[in-house]
Amino acid sequence: MSTTKGLEGIVATTSSVSSIIDGVLTYNGYNIDDLADYATFEEVVYLLWYHKLPTKEELESFTKELNGYSAVPSEVLEQLKTYPIDKVHPMAALRTAVSNLALFDEDADEMSEEANRKKAMKLQAQMPTIVTAFARIREGKEPIAPKPELSYAANFLYMLDGEEPDETSIEAFNKALVLHADHELNASTFTARVCVATLSDVYSGVTAAIGALKGPLHGGANERVMAMLSEIGDEDKVEEYIHKALENKEKIMGFGHRVYKDGDPRAKHLKEMSRQLTKITGESKWYEMSVKIDEIVTSEKGLLPNVDFYSASVYHSLGIEHDLFTPIFAVSRVSGWLAHILEQYDNNRLIRPRAEYVGPDKQAWVPIDKR
């Protein structure tokens, strides 16, 4: 048996949801650069789930159906209030609440394609409601009900702040959602597929995926990028901080990637958004610091920024609390998880690789009082 640490380079499934070929990311054959510039997030969700861009009518009816599911069962909202809110990370709250949603869906274990697509709709619609409700509850505020007439991006910002956002914020947030929606067989998507390949239910797959996204080597990196920027605090201190971190062999959050070695195609969009938004907020220092970190890490380690690096200053500029960055990633990525879950059910086989055993052999049993 031979092993490949971290399954690097192993092709574990076929998929027609998204691809990374020669450093180019496409969703169902559409280049991410075009989608980032032109698509609404709702169109992207449709594309990922139905493998085609919707017509105007299809998009209207899809959006209407999605919006119709955005209210979360009151039991789930009430239980959010019982979490130890001053200690709980919003990703842990989201993981628990999504698992909890299954308890209030009588079709949670119904496995027909129709039932699974309906659950996909519910999860996509309800995750923003949960994240924003939790963010408000912990500030002692009441959750705000979604407005069905607002877009997915606008609704999230509205439910967070209670005020309808301006066009610039909606556009930026929509673009961030589009850029994070899917990414081939990343760790959380693989987790979702492994889970549902046992023929477990959609809620279990998404709950498992949230757990995987939470880690700092994956989606959890964006919050840590902002923590690093805040800790450095000033452009003058970047050089010393980064050199010291590299000398200590620390990982610089938001850099490096398992698949992209010549750069993450999403990063340039987020970099430009960071430049524009920090200018608007009068806090260009976050952008300037980020660019300086980027220059040093790239020239000294040959590592390029990934999707998590510039997204940190983008979300900060939109006034979003730093520990909500990863839940926002989840609110977008659930579209990809669901596409992969549906694809997995459609052509399922249990995912069960092997491990090369490297432990001791031929051990003689020792009774407990002789150990």
Ligand X SMILES: O=C([O-])CC(=O)C(=O)O
> Could you give the residue numbers annotated as active site?
257, 308
8 A C-beta contact, residue 209 and residue 337: yes
> Least CB distance from residue 229 to ligand X, whole Å?
20
What binding mask, one character per residue, do residues 200-219 give for ligand ACO by CB under 6 A, x or -? -----------------xxx
- Residue from 119, 183, 269, 316 touching ligand X (CB under 6 A): that is 183
- Residue from 186, 191, 207, 313 touching ligand X (CB under 6 A): that is 186
Query: CA torsion, points 302, 22, 269, 295, in degrees to nearest 10?
Result: 10
> Least CB distance from residue 207 to ligand X, whole Å?
17
Q: Where are the beta strands (DSSP E) in the chain?
A: 18-21, 24-27, 30-31
What is the C-alpha separation between 247 and 228, in angstroms, rounded? 16
Does position 208 interact with ligand X (CB under 6 A)? The reply is: no
Helix 307-317 / helix 325-346 crossing angle, nearest 10 deg: 130
| Interacting residues of 218 by C-beta distance below 8 A, sequence separation 6+ | 186, 187, 188, 212
Does position 191 interact with ligand X (CB under 6 A)? The reply is: no
Q: What is the DSSP string of 123-134?
A: HHHHHHHHHHHH
What binding mask, one character per residue, do residues 302-331 give for ligand ACO by CB under 6 A, x or -? -x--xxx-----------------------
Closest CA to 283 of 239, 317, 323: 317
- Residue from 306, 326, 335, 344 touching ligand X (CB under 6 A): that is 306
DSSP assigned state of 150: S
Does position 6 interact with ligand ACO (CB under 6 A)? The reply is: yes
What binding mask, one character per residue, do residues 242-281 give for ligand ACO by CB under 6 A, x or -? ---------xxxxxxxx-----------------------
Does position 23 interact with ligand ACO (CB under 6 A)? The reply is: no
Does position 20 interact with ligand ACO (CB under 6 A)? The reply is: no
Q: What is the DSSP string of 306-332?
A: -HHHHHHHHHHHTT--GGGHHHHHHHH
Q: Amino acid letter at 256?
A: G
* Residue 252 contact partner, candidates ligand ACO, ligand X, none, CB within 5 to 8 A by sort of partner: ligand ACO
Q: Where do contacts with ligand ACO occur on this chain (CB under 6 A)?
A: 6, 217-219, 221, 251-258, 301, 303, 306-308
